[in-house]
Amino acid sequence: LLLGVLSLGGGLGWTGAQPSPPSPLTIPARPVTSTPADTLRDPIFPGLGQAGLDVRHYDVALTVERPGTPELRGAVTLTLASTRALPEVRLDFLGPAVTAVRWNGRAAPFRVDAAAQKLVVTPPAPLLPGHEAHLSVEYRGRPGVILDPGFGAAPVELGWQSVPAAGGRAGANFALSEPHGTHTFLPCNDHPSDKATFTTRITVPQGYVAAASGVEGPVGEGNGTRTFVFTQAEPIPTYVLGLFVDRFERVTAPPVPVGVNGAPVARRDYFPVSTPPNVRAVYTRTGEALRVLSDWFGPYPFGAYGTAVVTPRLPALETATLSTIPVTSGERTSVHELAHQWFGNAVSPATWADVWLNEGFATYSELIWTEAQGEDGGAVVTRWYDTLVRAGTRPLVATREEQLFDRSAYQRGALALQALRVAVGDGAFRAFLRAYTARFSGGTVSTAEFLAFARAQTGERGEAALRLWVESPGLPPLPVVARASV
C-alpha cells in the first residue's frame, strides 16, 4: 500500500510563484486533443477513464467548512502507474476549480477540458510502465453536476450531495456516485476497471461527524475543526467511495468473525441524531445478515461493515464498508446493499454493460435472506417473474444508460442465478458462489468471464441455464426444480 505525499498546507499552484527548474527531461506541453482512443471505451460511457492508466491509491483530504452547502475544498494525491507510456495523464474531473497540480511534488502544467470532463496533466517526462508517480491536485468550490436519467420520474444529481439545514436539522453532505458521479468532486480514473485503495481525511466543524469507506483511525482536533481519517485497504471502484458529513451518532456493535480466515469484521453504523428508533432497529440485524450471506458468498471481503443513514429520498448505494441507505428504506434494502459488498465492491464489473452482475446477485441475496428466515422463497421468485412479465425485459448485457438499473438488471439478473441453482442444485450452487468470489475478489469480471467460469465450475448444464437468461431476447420460462433430474 503506497501512501501519498501531499499535505493540506502550502498549496502553490502552477500559476503560482514556484515554477519547476528547467530540466533536460522536460517535454513541451502539446496541444491536447480528446480522441476517444484515449479513454477506456466503456460501452455505456465511452468517455470515461484513460487507457493505460492505473491509479493504485488515492490519498484524499476533503474540507467541508459549511456542511449542507456544496462548497468543498479538496487535496488529493494519486499514486499512478501505467501499462503504456503516457505523455499526458487525463483524469476524469468535472469538479471545483483546480488551484494547484504537482507531479512528484513539483508544479506541473495542467488544463481543464470541461467538454471532455477531464483534468489533463503533462508530466515532466512520460509515465512509463514499471514506474510510479505521485500526482497531487488541489481544488475548491462547487462540484460539477452529472444527471442520472434512470431513476424514477426525476433525474438524480450524481456525486456530491448537499442536504441544506431545515426544520432544526443540521446541514449534511454525502457522496452518491454510481455510476459516474465521483469525478464531480474528485479527480480520478472514474471507471470500475481501475480499482484502487483509498486513504480519506475529512475535516469538518466541531459538532459534526465525518465518515468514509474503510477502517477509522484516530480523530484529529483542530482549531474549531475535527479531522476524521479512514483507510480502505482493499481496492474498490471509484463509484463506491463512501463519504458522509452530518451530526451523526456513531453506534458500534460486536465484531462478526466472518472475514477472510474468520477475521473479525468491525461493525459500526452512523445515524443522524434525529433517526427514529424503528429505523435504528433495522440495523440491529446486520450481524445476522453478515453471517447468513457469508455462508453462501464466502468470507466478507473488507475489514468493517455498517450503514450510514441519509435523509433525502434517493436510491440506496453500496458504498464500500459503509452502505448509504435512506431513512425511508428497510431490511430488504439493507440486505441488498450488504450483498453488494461481495458483488460490486469486491468482485467488480469490467464495464458498465456488465452491471447486471452487481444487481442480479444483490437482488438474489434478498431470496437467500427470506429463506434464512424460514419464509417462502417461491413467492419471492414468482414476484420477480411477474414484474418482468409486466415490465418487459431484455438480454442482460446493457447497451444503453437507461438500462443500467432497470428491472432486467435486478429481477432478471436474479432469475438467471435462480435458473443456475435449479439446474445444478443447492450444494453445487453454493460451491459455485464461493468459488466465484474467491476467484474474482479484488478484481473485475465481464459477463463472458462469468459464463466461462460457470461452465468450468458447474459444467454445460449450469452454463446453458445461465446463458438462456443472459442472452434470450424474450423472457425464458420460470425456472422450476425438475424432480426427475439426477
Residue 205, Cβ density class (10 Å: 0-12 exposed, 13-18 middle, ≥19 buried): middle
Assess 445 for contact with Zn ion (CB under 5 A): no
Residues 6 or more apart in contact with residue 219 via CB below 8 angstroms: 226, 227, 228, 229
Alpha carbon distance 463, 416 (integer Å): 10
- ω before 179 within 30° of 0 (cis)? yes
| Closest approach of ligand ARG to the CB of residue 236, in Å | 14
| Closest approach of Zn ion to the CB of residue 27, in Å | 45
Between 61 and 243, whose beta carbon lies closer to ligand ARG?
243
Between 42 and 178, whose beta carbon lies closer to ligand ARG?
178
Residues 6 or more apart in contact with residue 54 via CB below 8 angstroms: 80, 81, 82, 83, 189, 194
Residues 6 or more apart in contact with residue 15 via CB below 8 angstroms: none
Alpha carbon distance 1, 409 (integer Å): 34
> What character string, x for contact with Zn ion (CB under 5 A) and - otherwise, covers 246-285?
----------------------------------------
> What character string, x for contact with ligand ARG (CB under 6 A) and - otherwise, covers 176-195?
--x-----------------
| Closest approach of ligand ARG to the CB of residue 319, in Å | 10
| Closest approach of ligand ARG to the CB of residue 469, in Å | 19
Taking CB under 5 A as the criterion, which residues in 47-76 touch Zn ion? none
| Closest approach of ligand ARG to the CB of residue 402, in Å | 10
DSSP 233-251: EEEE-GGG--EEEESEEEE
| Closest approach of ligand ARG to the CB of residue 263, in Å | 25
Taking CB under 5 A as the criterion, which residues in 334-363 touch Zn ion? 359, 362
Assess 318 for contact with ligand ARG (CB under 6 A): yes
> What character string, x for contact with Zn ion (CB under 5 A) and - otherwise, covers 360-399?
--x-------------------------------------
| Closest approach of ligand ARG to the CB of residue 306, in Å | 16
Assess 359 for contact with ligand ARG (CB under 6 A): yes
Between 332 and 461, whose beta carbon lies closer to ligand ARG?
332
| Closest approach of Zn ion to the CB of residue 340, in Å | 6
Stretch that binds ligand ARG, among 70-78, 144-152, 302-310, 427-435 (CB under 6 A): 144-152
Query: Which cell goes with 409?
Result: 438488471
Between 287 and 315, whose beta carbon lies closer to ligand ARG?
315
Residue 188: CB atoms within 10 Å? 26
Stretch that binds ligand ARG, among 21-29, 149-157, 442-450, 458-466 (CB under 6 A): 149-157
Between 172 and 317, whose beta carbon lies closer to Zn ion?
317
Q: By the 8 A CB rule, do 319 and 212 touch?
A: no
Closest CA to 202 of 180, 185, 188, 190: 185
Closest CA to 3 of 53, 77, 89, 70: 77
Does the CA dihedral 399-402-403-409 come out positive or negative?
A: positive
Element containing residue 73 per DSSP (H, E): strand 72-82
Taking CB under 6 A as the criterion, which residues in 40-99 touch ligand ARG? none
Residue 116, Cβ density class (10 Å: 0-12 exposed, 13-18 middle, ≥19 buried): buried
| Closest approach of ligand ARG to the CB of residue 184, in Å | 13
The site for ligand ARG, by CB under 6 A, has a size of 14
Residue 38: phi and psi, rounded to 5, are: -75, -20
Between 152 and 207, whose beta carbon lies closer to ligand ARG?
152
| Closest approach of Zn ion to the CB of residue 335, in Å | 11
Please choose which of ligand ARG, Zn ion, none residue 150 contacts, taking the beta carbon within 5 to 8 angstroms, the exact cut-off set by kind: ligand ARG
Residues 6 or more apart in contact with residue 24 via CB below 8 angstroms: none
Closest CA to 121 of 111, 133, 129: 111
> Based on C-alpha coordinates, what's the Rg of the chain?
23
Residue 169, Cβ density class (10 Å: 0-12 exposed, 13-18 middle, ≥19 buried): middle
Length of the chain: 486
For residue 18, the one-letter residue type is: Q
- Choose which of 317, 397, 415, 416 interacts with ligand ARG (CB under 6 A): 317
Assess 315 for contact with ligand ARG (CB under 6 A): yes
| Closest approach of ligand ARG to the CB of residue 150, in Å | 5
Assess 150 for contact with ligand ARG (CB under 6 A): yes
Stretch that binds ligand ARG, among 68-76, 266-274, 314-322, 376-384 (CB under 6 A): 314-322
Crossing angle of helices 447-471 and 413-424, in 10° steps, is 90
- Choose which of 56, 151, 226, 428 interacts with ligand ARG (CB under 6 A): 151
Task: Compute the C-alpha angle 384/466/435, nearest 5°.
Answer: 105
- Choose which of 156, 210, 346, 470 interacts with ligand ARG (CB under 6 A): 156
Binding site for Zn ion (CB under 5 A): 359, 362
Binding site for ligand ARG (CB under 6 A): 148, 150-151, 156, 178, 315-318, 336-337, 340, 359, 405
